[in-house]
Amino acid sequence: MIDNPYYSEEIHQDFTVISIGRLELEEGGVIPECRLAVRTWGTLNEAKDNVILITTWYAGTHQVWADIYIGDDHALDPSQYFIVAINQIGNGLSTSPHNTDDPSISMSRFPRVRIGDDVVAQERLLREHFGIEHLALVVGGSMGAQQTYEWAVRFPHKVSRAAAIAGTAQNTPHDFLFTETLSEQIRSDDGWQGGEYSSNAEVVDGLHRQAHLWATMGFSTEFWKQEKWADLGFGSRDAFVSDFLEANFAVVDPNSLLTMAWKWQRGDVARHTGGNLAAALGRVTARTYVLPISEDMFFPVRDCAAEQTMIPNSELRVIDDIHGHLALWAFDPRFVPQIDRHLSDLLAETV
Amino acid sequence: MIDNPYYSEEIHQDFTVISIGRLELEEGGVIPECRLAVRTWGTLNEAKDNVILITTWYAGTHQVWADIYIGDDHALDPSQYFIVAINQIGNGLSTSPHNTDDPSISMSRFPRVRIGDDVVAQERLLREHFGIEHLALVVGGSMGAQQTYEWAVRFPHKVSRAAAIAGTAQNTPHDFLFTETLSEQIRSDDGWQGGEYSSNAEVVDGLHRQAHLWATMGFSTEFWKQEKWADLGFGSRDAFVSDFLEANFAVVDPNSLLTMAWKWQRGDVARHTGGNLAAALGRVTARTYVLPISEDMFFPVRDCAAEQTMIPNSELRVIDDIHGHLALWAFDPRFVPQIDRHLSDLLAETV
C-alpha cells in the first residue's frame, strides 16, 4: 500500500467506503473484497424512487461532482433526490492497485477490470446496502458515460432516465489509440518499475508527459488560441500547463490511471449482443439524453450522434463549449447551466 | 556522423547536394557550410520565369513529392515548369545533426534553425546556383506551408503565386504543445542520450511512441472509425500502426526530428512586423491559395481560414479528405486530383 495524500478525506470529503464482498471479473480475475467509495446527498424516500446515480470519469472522483454539479441550485438537487456517487473501481478511492492490503491484487498484480464489472458492483451495492432497485436517473461524463450506457443496456428495467455526457457506448478506435498513448507515458518512465514504484514521485516524468497529452487532446485548438487559461487566473500558457495540468496529474496514482485507461479502451455495450451495437442500444428503455461537447477532440459530436440514432427513446443535445472534453471541469461559467437545463428537462419527463 | 541508410540514394533518388557556404542563423548559431539537398525536374527556360519551388514538411523529404505530386499528368508538370524541391535544413538530407562531419555542429551541438533561415538559404541557393530571381509558384504542405508563407512575406517581389497546403503562417499555441509532445517522446528515451546516440535503434522506443501520437493526431477520428487502413492494404489497425507508422518513424533520424520540431513550433511570419500578423500577411503580393484539409486535427480549417482573410489577394479552398493531416501522403485517390485542380487554377491565373 502507498499512502497517497491525494486520496485523503481532506481532499475528498464525506465519502464512505462500503464493501460489496468478492467480485468476480469479466476478464477472469477476482477482487476478493471489493470496496467502493460512495458519497450520498439528500434522503432516500420511502418509495425509493428518487435515486440518482452518478458515475465517475478517468482520473476523477466524486469530488468534482460535489464541487460543481450538485446543490439546491442545480438539477442534481439533494432536496428532491437521493444522489449517490460511486467511485469506479481502480480510481484510487474505491479498491485500487495502490490502496489494497490484499497482496494478491496489489500494485502490478491488480486484475483487469471492465466497465461491466463496475456496473455489476454498483448495482449490487445499491441493492444490498440501500435496498435500491431502481434509478430515476443515471448520469456520468466521459468514462462515466460509458458506465451510464452500460447501466441502460445491462439493466434496462432498472433505469428510467440516462444522461451520457461526452462519452460513448462503444469506445472508438481513435479513443483506444489515444488512451494507449496516455498509458505509454507512464509505462515508459523507468520509475514506474513495472507497476512496483514506491511513490508517485518516481513516476512524475511520465505523469507530466501524460498531462501534456491532455493539453493537446483534452482541450480544443481554440481554447489555446483564445488563451482561455487567462480566464482561469493563469499568467501564461506554460504556467497553466505546469501549475494546473501537470500538478493535477502528478498526484494521481499511476497504476490507477493504467487500470482506468485499460477499462476505458474496452468500454463496449455490444459485448451483450455479440458485437451488434444497434442491437445493444436497441435494448435501452430509459429516456436517454446524449450530451456531447461541441469541441470535444476525442469524443466528437458525430460519434455520439451516431449512437444516439440507435437508442429508441433518446435525444441529442450538444453542449456548446470551446474548452473541449475538459469542459467537464466547468471552466466556463456557461457549462453547468447547460447541464442543469438538460438534466432538469430530463428529470421532468414522464417515463 | 551516423550512416543512416534511410537517407541513401537508394531511397531518395536523384538529388544533388549543393553547398551555399556559411549560414548565419536567426538564433545566433552558425552552419559553417550549409549543404542543401535539391532535386529538380524539367528545364529552366531562358527568361527563368517558369520556376516552381517545393518546400518540405516535418519528417519528410523531396521524395514524397516525386512519388505523388510531380509528373506530366499533374499540375506540377516538368514539361512546362522547372521544378526545384529543396529539403529543409535538418531534415536528414540537407545539413543535419547526424550527417555533418563538422564537429562544431554535429549531433547535440546542432544549432537552432528557424523557418526564416531555411527561406534565406533557399533564396541564396536559387539565385547563386541557378540564377533564379523569381518564382512562378512556391508550394508546400505543413512545415512546407510555413516556408511558403515565409517566402511570400519575406520576399514578396520574388513570388508570383503561393500555395500553402495544411499549414499556417503563424504557428498556433495548440500546435506548439502538440509538437512538444512529439519531441518529448524522443527526449524521454534513455537511448537518446542527450542527442549522442550512435544509431536509431537506440531510440526506437521513443520513435515508436512518436509514431503513436501521429496515429491519434495525424489522422482523423473518422479515418480510424471507418477503418481506412484496410483500403491501404493492412489487415488490422495494429498492423497499420506497427508496419506503417512505427516503421516510417523508426528510420528517421531522432535529432533531425527534434531540429524540425523546434523550427515548426516557432514558425511565425509576424517576426517581420513586430508580432503583427495582419501587417505581415498584408505584405503578401503573391496570388495565394490557402488549402487546409477538412479533417486536419492540428492545422484545422478555421486556423487557416483566419489567416487567409488577412492575405490581400488570396482564396480559401478546403481540401476534402477524411484522412486528416496525413492526407498529405495521398492515401485517398481523390486527394491529388484536388491538389492538381487547385494548383492548375492557380498557375493559370494571370498575376
Residue in A178, A181, A224 nearest the CB of B172: A224
Instruction: Report the pLDDT value the prediction gives residue A178, as an integer from 0 to 100.
Output: 98
Measure B229 CA to nearest chain A CA, in Å: 12
The rounded distance, in Å, linking the Cα atoms of B256 and B268 is 20
Angle, CA of B115, B282 and B289, to the nearest 5° = 70
The strand pairing partners of B13, in sequence order, are none
Q: Over chain B, what is the mean pLDDT?
A: 98
The C-alpha atoms of residue A343 and residue B148 are separated, in whole angstroms, by 50
Report pLDDT for B336: 98
Chain A residues 171-200 with a CB less than 8 Å from chain B: 172-174, 177-178, 180-181, 184, 188-190
Q: What is the mean pLDDT of residues B173-193?
A: 98
Does the beta carbon of A341 lie under 8 angstroms from any beta carbon of chain B? no
CA–CA separation, A260 and A112 (whole Å): 9
- Provide ipTM, 2 decimals: 0.97
d(CA A205, CA A195): 15
What is the rounded average pLDDT of the residues A207-215?
98
pLDDT the model gives residue A322 = 97
C-alpha cell at A96: 485500487
From the list B209, B225, B303, the residue facing A221 with the nearest CB is: B303
User: Which of B205, B220, B241 minimises the CB distance to A188?
Assistant: B205
Is B184 close to A209, i.e. CB distance below 8 A? yes
The whole-number pLDDT of residue B34 equals 98
- Answer whether A173 sits within 8 Å of B302, measured CB to CB: no
Mean pLDDT for B248-271 is: 98
Q: Pairing state of beta strands B82-86 and A287-291?
A: unpaired
Q: If we measure between CA atoms, which residue out of B219, B220, B201, B202 comes closest to residue B211?
A: B219
Mean pLDDT of A225-236: 97
What pLDDT, in 10s, does the model give residues A300-315?
999 999 999 999 999 9
Give CA–CA dist B56/A351, Å, rounded. Answer: 60
Residue-wise DSSP of B250-274: HTS-HHHHHHHHHHHHT-BGGGGGT
Interface touch B215/A177, C-beta < 8 Å:
yes
Q: Is B238 exposed, middle or buried (0-12, 13-18, 19+ CB in 10 A)?
A: exposed
Reported as a pLDDT band with limits 50, 70 and 90, residue A224 is very high
Q: Whole-number mean pLDDT of chain A?
A: 98
Q: Are B289 and B311 in contact (CB under 8 A)?
A: no
Q: For A216, which residue in chain B has the nearest alpha carbon? A: B178
Question: What pLDDT sits at residue A122?
Answer: 99
Task: Inspect the interface and report whether the beta carbons of B205 and A215 lie closer than 8 Å.
Answer: no
Residue A142 annotated in active site: yes
Give yes or no: B325 in active site: yes
Does B300 sit within 8 Å of A212, measured CB to CB? no
Interval A23-47 mean pLDDT = 98
What 3-state class would DSSP assign to A261?
A: helix
With 0.95 as the threshold, say if the pTM is over it: yes
Name the phi and psi angles at B280, rounded to 5.
-65, -50
Are A212 and B181 an interchain contact pair (Cβ–Cβ within 8 Å)? yes
Sign of the Cα torsion B319, B323, B329, B335 reads negative
Query: Which of A176, A205, A212, A216 should one mutate to test binding to chain B, selecting the residue with the greatest count of B CBs within 10 A?
Result: A216
Taking residues B17-22, report their average pLDDT: 98
Q: Which of B99, B87, B42 is nearest to B260 (CA)?
A: B87
Q: Strand B23-24 relative to strand B30-31: parallel, antiparallel, unpaired? A: antiparallel
Contacts of A30 (CB under 8 A, 6+ apart): A22, A23, A24, A105, A111
Residue B158's pLDDT is 98
**Rounded distance between C-alpha atoms, residue B291 and residue B301, angstroms:** 9
pLDDT digits 0-9 by tens, A244-289: 999 999 999 999 999 999 999 999 999 999 999 999 999 999 999 9
- Shortest Cα distance from B216 to chain A (angstroms)? 6
Cβ–Cβ < 8 Å for A293, A324:
yes
Residue A56: what are its φ and ψ, rounded to 5°? -110, 160
Instruction: Grade residue A325 by pLDDT with cuts at 50, 70 and 90.
Output: very high
Chain B nearest C-alpha distance from A80 (Å)? 40
pLDDT for A153: 98
Interface of A with B in 300-329 (CB under 8 A): 300, 302-303
DSSP string, B55-120: E--TT--HHHHHHHTBSTTSSB-TTT-EEEEEPPTTSSSSS-TTT---TTTSGGGPPP--HHHHHH
CB crowding A234-255: b at 16 or more within 10 Å, else e = beebeebbeebbbeebbbbbbb
